[in-house]
Structure 1
Amino acid sequence: MLGLASISLVLVASVVIGVWGVRAARSTPDFLVASRRIVPGWNAMAIAGEYVSAASVLGLAGLLVKNGVGAMWYGVGFTAGYVLVAALVAGPMRRSGAYTVPDFAEYRLGSRRIRRMCGLVVLVIMLLYLIPQFKAAGVVLELVSGVPYWVGVVGAGLVVSSTIAVGGMRSATYVQAFHYLLKLAFIAVPALFLIFLAGPERREQAFAPTGLDPDWARPLLDLDGAGQPVLSTVSILIATTLGAMGLPHVVMRFHTVAGARAARRVAVGVIVLLGVFYLFPVVYGLLGRVVAPNPSETDVVTVLVPGEIAPGMVGAVLTALVAAGAFAAFLSTSSGLLLALAGGLSHDLFGGSLSRLRAGVAAGTGLAVALALPAAEVDINVLVGWAFAVAASTFCPLLTLGIWWRGLTAGGATAGLLVGVGTSTGAAMVTVLTDLEPGAVSVLLAQPAIWTVPLAFATMILASRPAAIPEWADESVLRLHLPGRLSRSGELLSPEQLR
């Protein structure tokens, strides 16, 4: 009951904060980018809030118990991706004045076709990312309250979609910043208590390097016991690091601040916030290996550990806090994902009136919930890993080349996107539909970014014919790298003045 009560309080607080932002959502800019009036500190917390998802709070600890110390590379990749975002993407994307990745593609390449194609890619990435969020909500609610799995999935969908549909980006920002602080407190504080309550013997078993199973303690990740630790680790790092550069809901966030300098400050702030947070899921994974080494569902290790270490009221209170923090993770991440999904459905594919954006939220939620219901047995990090792989194979090369290389053309970008999304999603489908023997081939299909990303980059470069480079390519690239953007007369103008 304590767990259900804590989750209910998080839900009520989220709805109240979200409704408070309704008064500002009166137009498309309000809905998608909060009219670019979010201060960097709040924005950094909001990005960290939506980025720290079920894969971080639950999936990382579960993989640590299941696959060993090498699972920590997930956290490294999730955080390191923002170093590249800050260095290569944040400032230029803010100067472009675009609301979404498809917006940027049309601005840079002058093609409505490439915009629509990017809108479809957004749908693929966002659905792959949303399904594990709703799945985790169902699993946690079932564990702490006994209600059926589908109730948690549907309930999380209703709460998140109603909050976003009425308030848009401003509501999402307030809710997600609140959720980051909530997650940090409700995951970190119980973790510190559990380290103390575990006692000397279990602490030594969990944290001492001696006496560990050599395979479990290996500092590399071996996906599904394929016997390819180096290949597995490099594949995961490429997907998580480069995938962060291409996540549509992350890119949207840099347009909610006043300028490019503020966007870079936001990216640096996110790196610090993520670095602090990822210390604590590791604690639950290390303790879980000792007190819950064979859970029936690896994705609930974080919620199981408090009760195993401290039975009784203390354990119940700590479990309730952890469950509330985990539920906050699902809600905040889902909020950003639904905004990007709504933008892909309406703003980028069908024309972005405010009513269509809200209808896009409802349609996207319904589709994600319908797909999450049969996904109860799929590991959270597997689905999130596929989302990162698709983002790394599509939008990462599109944004990198579009920002830093004048030679990218609409034809080259189209070919690269088709190759990237086709190979990365095709590899995931082969993994689901076939029973491959563990080995190098199974790793390359389960986590394909190591070969799909270079293939997408190469395709975009080779398919961009020099004769097809538009005459305004130099100016469009130049505008992305100046403190303002140049008009054709040479006057330095702000992005807002040029829109």
Structure 2
Amino acid sequence: MQVNPWALVSVTLVVVVTFYLGHRTSRFARSTHDFLVARRTVRSRRNAAAIAGEYISAASFLGIAGLVLKEGADALWFPIGFTAGFLALMLFVAGPLRRSGAYTLPDFMEARLSSPVLRTASTWFVVFIGVLYLLPQLQGAGLALTMIMPTPAWVGSVLVTVVIAYNVMGGGMRAITLLQAFQYWFKLFAIAAPTFVLCAVFVAGGAGAPGSAGSLDEPAPPNFAAHTTVTVDTDVTLGVDTLTRVRVDDGSGGAGWTTWHAGSQHTVDAGSELTFPEGAAVPTVDQATSANLDWLLPSTDLSGLLSTYSLLLALLLGTMGLPHVLSRFYTNPDGKAARRTTVQVLLLLGLFYLFPVMLGMLSRMFVPELLITGETDAAVIALPTAMLSGVAGQILAALLAAGAFAAFLSTASGLVSSMSGVIATDLLAGKVRDYRVASVGVAGIAVLLAVTLPIDDLALSVGMSFALGASTFAPLLVLGVWWRRLTWLGAMVGMCTGGGLVLLAVVLNAVSAHTGGWAPWLLERPALVTVPVAFGLTVLVSIGTSSRVPEDVGAVMLRLHAPDPLGFMRDRAVQRFGRAEEHTRTSQGRHRK
């Protein structure tokens, strides 16, 4: 492949700036209070940018465009759901969560229900969700690096892991707050500027521009604009809707031209080269939408509708169950600032998600060969050089690659920080040293899994994390904030059942991927079953164990819902996870706004 020197420079600059900002801000972190909640002094504007920065992950920067390329209208629910999840978070959870005074999600569970056992179980689910969400970030980094230089995918995963582990170890939440806020604005520029340029190029040339596969409103599949050779890196099964001429070279010496008939499917081994003449229809991998007319319209069959509803339920409720998102609200000064932060996050995310959708639509016309290899997550980086030849295309691809790496770094930093916090305070002694040990352990395990497990669609992988969050912590947060009769036993049964069902679906999906792909849609998007089960069991068991309602429930509910000026909010004692002298030091100096 041809190395893009501009991309190498841009990615190197992002990594160096990330390393520098993390190192510089780490100097202000001295206590565990700094590492976990940044002294609870982060203003709403900076916190909103930081939340948006860590929320815009590999699934957002690369995965959404890839899904739009492959699935069309059905994929539009992803950006809608990703954004709307913060509306539910703002309405039901954000303010009371901050007023609880907790510093981690398991700490909130104990503060509300007075159960150390529930706290320990919550800790493990935080780790499960964090690892499940972290894997596509590291795998996406490897994919992005392979697109700009001839290097194995594991190199990008290891590079991102080293940088984020250093930053998190150095200063935790205090170190990554400014870093994530900066990375949001950089990611917005990195995706918006190329989108405007590529849209201008498209408008100038129209659907018939050089390299275009044709108009998106045509009923036929996309067509190759020129004689094209595609190398398949993994085993794929391709389907065609029209008569297609193709030359298959699998390395055995028997290459020759053949005809694939409409409606047929063909297995292509890894390492094979497929050559198509000009004007040939583009075959698609399993589950990809072939005809443009079908691509433009949403699914109308029952399974497609149920799958969409399941996805929306997971995204709407899953956001409030993501520990790395919730941990940022603990850094606000009060509940009012937490709600204001959420409103600003909605604006920032709504602005960002306009651009990957447009890039996905352009990819359908200019890089349809990705439908053959199945590597649709590479569409964002491959698109500029397909639409613009020479240095101009390389520079735009370089900017997008840099933005993708910023997405990997910011999201991975938040995930490692949130997991390290709960491990250090709940499973270890709770000192700064324990936080750092947990950071190294979490990062090491995650990168090991990332380089050994296969890469799936990034947005779909992240969607499973949302389903797990929606099936575990979402019922506990909603009911814990708004229902006085919740008991720790009901919360435990609901969380373990909902989370266990999602983890079972993850395992069955992995088995299905290696044994013929027999898994139904319900295993890929299980929230439609697991979320109602989790809510229902939590309510039923709580009603059946009403004698276990905490005695201080009235005082706790008053603290969660009383307006901030009344002064009922009390932060959980720092001495629980740090030395008393550390608490004294936190009052010296102020966090930079």
TM-score normalised by L of structure 1: 0.94
Aligned partner (choices 293, 296, 321) of residue 217 of structure 1: 296
* Structure 1: distance between partners of 2:86 and 2:43: 19
Aligned partner (choices 109, 130, 133) of residue 129 of structure 1: 133
Kindly indicate whether the alpha-carbon contact (under 8 Å) linking 2:7 and 2:401 is maintained by their aligned counterparts in 1: yes
More helix by share: 1
Question: Is residue 175 of structure 2 the alignment partner of residue 171 of structure 1?
Answer: yes
Kindly indicate whether the alpha-carbon contact (under 8 Å) linking 2:101 and 2:569 is maintained by their aligned counterparts in 1: no
More strand by share: 2
Does the residue aligned with 1:495 lie in a helix, a strand or coil?
Answer: coil
* Structure 2: distance between partners of 1:379 and 1:232: 16
Deviation at 1:497, TM superposition (A): 8.5
Aligned to 1:489: none
Question: Is residue 555 of structure 2 the alignment partner of residue 475 of structure 1?
Answer: yes
Question: Is residue 235 of structure 2 the alignment partner of residue 228 of structure 1?
Answer: no
Aligned partner letter, 1:64? V
Deviation at 1:201, TM superposition (A): 2.2
Does the residue aligned with 1:256 lie in a helix, a strand or coil?
Answer: coil
Kindly indicate whether the alpha-carbon contact (under 8 Å) linking 1:95 and 1:485 is maintained by their aligned counterparts in 2: no
**CA-to-partner distance for each residue in 1:289-348, whole Å, 9 max, x for gaps?**
001113131111100000000011000000000000011000000010011110232122
Aligned to 2:494: 416
Aligned partner letter, 2:293? P
Kindly indicate whether the alpha-carbon contact (under 8 Å) linking 2:86 and 2:320 is maintained by their aligned counterparts in 1: yes
Aligned to 1:386: 464
Provide the aligned C-alpha RMSD in A: 2.1
**CA-to-partner distance for each residue in 1:44-75, whole Å, 9 max, x for gaps?**
00000000000001000111111122101000
**CA-to-partner distance for each residue in 1:140-180, whole Å, 9 max, x for gaps?**
11110212111111111001110111021121111111110
Kindly indicate whether the alpha-carbon contact (under 8 Å) linking 1:62 and 1:300 is maintained by their aligned counterparts in 2: yes
Deviation at 1:430, TM superposition (A): 1.2
Kindly indicate whether the alpha-carbon contact (under 8 Å) linking 1:90 and 1:263 is maintained by their aligned counterparts in 2: yes
Aligned partner (choices 104, 114, 120) of residue 116 of structure 1: 120
Structure of larger gyration radius: 2
**CA-to-partner distance for each residue in 1:73-106, whole Å, 9 max, x for gaps?**
0000000000011111110000000011100000
Within a 5 Å distance, the mapping from 1:185-204 to structure 2 comes to: 185-198=189-202, 199-202=204-207
* Structure 2: distance between partners of 1:227 and 1:315: 42
Aligned partner (choices 436, 443, 451) of residue 373 of structure 1: 451
| Cα gap change, 1:95 to 1:208, in 2 (>3 Å) | farther
Does the residue aligned with 1:378 lie in a helix, a strand or coil?
Answer: coil
Kindly indicate whether the alpha-carbon contact (under 8 Å) linking 2:334 and 2:564 is maintained by their aligned counterparts in 1: no
Aligned partner letter, 2:387? I
Q: Percent identity?
A: 43
Aligned to 1:106: 110
* Structure 2: distance between partners of 1:364 and 1:280: 32
Deviation at 1:382, TM superposition (A): 2.2
Question: Is residue 349 of structure 2 the alignment partner of residue 274 of structure 1?
Answer: yes
* Structure 2: distance between partners of 1:90 and 1:470: 23
Does the residue aligned with 2:427 lie in a helix, a strand or coil?
Answer: coil
Kindly indicate whether the alpha-carbon contact (under 8 Å) linking 2:320 and 2:470 is maintained by their aligned counterparts in 1: yes
* Structure 1: distance between partners of 2:323 and 2:408: 17
When structure 1 is superposed on structure 2, of 429-438 and 377-386 the one drifting more is 429-438
Aligned partner letter, 1:108? R
* Structure 2: distance between partners of 1:438 and 1:128: 21
* Structure 1: distance between partners of 2:540 and 2:208: 55
Does the residue aligned with 2:206 lie in a helix, a strand or coil?
Answer: helix
Kindly indicate whether the alpha-carbon contact (under 8 Å) linking 1:427 and 1:445 is maintained by their aligned counterparts in 2: yes
Aligned partner letter, 1:310? L
**Structure 2: which 5+ residue stretches go unaligned?**
220-291, 575-593
Question: Is residue 135 of structure 2 the alignment partner of residue 60 of structure 1?
Answer: no
**Structure 1: which 5+ residue stretches go unaligned?**
487-491
Kindly indicate whether the alpha-carbon contact (under 8 Å) linking 2:336 and 2:564 is maintained by their aligned counterparts in 1: no
Kindly indicate whether the alpha-carbon contact (under 8 Å) linking 2:66 and 2:379 is maintained by their aligned counterparts in 1: yes
Question: Is residue 361 of structure 2 the alignment partner of residue 302 of structure 1?
Answer: no
Aligned partner letter, 1:362? V
Question: Is residue 14 of structure 2 the alignment partner of residue 10 of structure 1?
Answer: yes
Kindly indicate whether the alpha-carbon contact (under 8 Å) linking 1:139 and 1:376 is maintained by their aligned counterparts in 2: no
Aligned partner letter, 1:455? V
Aligned to 1:316: 394
Question: Is residue 126 of structure 2 the alignment partner of residue 48 of structure 1?
Answer: no
* Structure 1: distance between partners of 2:572 and 2:6: 53
* Structure 2: distance between partners of 1:393 and 1:276: 28
Question: Is residue 337 of structure 2 the alignment partner of residue 262 of structure 1?
Answer: yes
Deviation at 1:376, TM superposition (A): 4.0
Aligned to 1:180: 184
Aligned partner (choices 88, 101, 121) of residue 97 of structure 1: 101
Aligned partner letter, 1:258? P
* Structure 1: distance between partners of 2:441 and 2:572: 34
* Structure 1: distance between partners of 2:208 and 2:48: 34
Aligned partner letter, 1:380? L
**CA-to-partner distance for each residue in 1:96-150, whole Å, 9 max, x for gaps?**
0001110000000101111110000001000000000000001111110212111
When structure 1 is superposed on structure 2, of 184-193 and 207-216 the one drifting more is 207-216
Aligned partner (choices 317, 329, 332) of residue 242 of structure 1: 317
Does the residue aligned with 2:378 lie in a helix, a strand or coil?
Answer: helix
Deviation at 1:437, TM superposition (A): 8.9
Aligned to 2:33: 29
| Cα gap change, 1:468 to 1:298, in 2 (>3 Å) | same
TM-score normalised by L of structure 2: 0.79
| Cα gap change, 1:472 to 1:208, in 2 (>3 Å) | farther
Deviation at 1:350, TM superposition (A): 2.3
Deviation at 1:349, TM superposition (A): 2.3
Kindly indicate whether the alpha-carbon contact (under 8 Å) linking 1:206 and 1:286 is maintained by their aligned counterparts in 2: no
| Cα gap change, 1:142 to 1:356, in 2 (>3 Å) | same
* Structure 2: distance between partners of 1:227 and 1:135: 33
| Cα gap change, 1:245 to 1:98, in 2 (>3 Å) | same
* Structure 2: distance between partners of 1:115 and 1:207: 56
| Cα gap change, 1:75 to 1:206, in 2 (>3 Å) | farther
Question: Is residue 331 of structure 2 the alignment partner of residue 252 of structure 1?
Answer: no
Aligned partner letter, 1:219? P
Deviation at 1:248, TM superposition (A): 0.4
Aligned partner letter, 1:75? P
When structure 1 is superposed on structure 2, of 334-343 and 347-356 the one drifting more is 347-356
Kindly indicate whether the alpha-carbon contact (under 8 Å) linking 2:207 and 2:215 is maintained by their aligned counterparts in 1: no
| Cα gap change, 1:400 to 1:497, in 2 (>3 Å) | closer
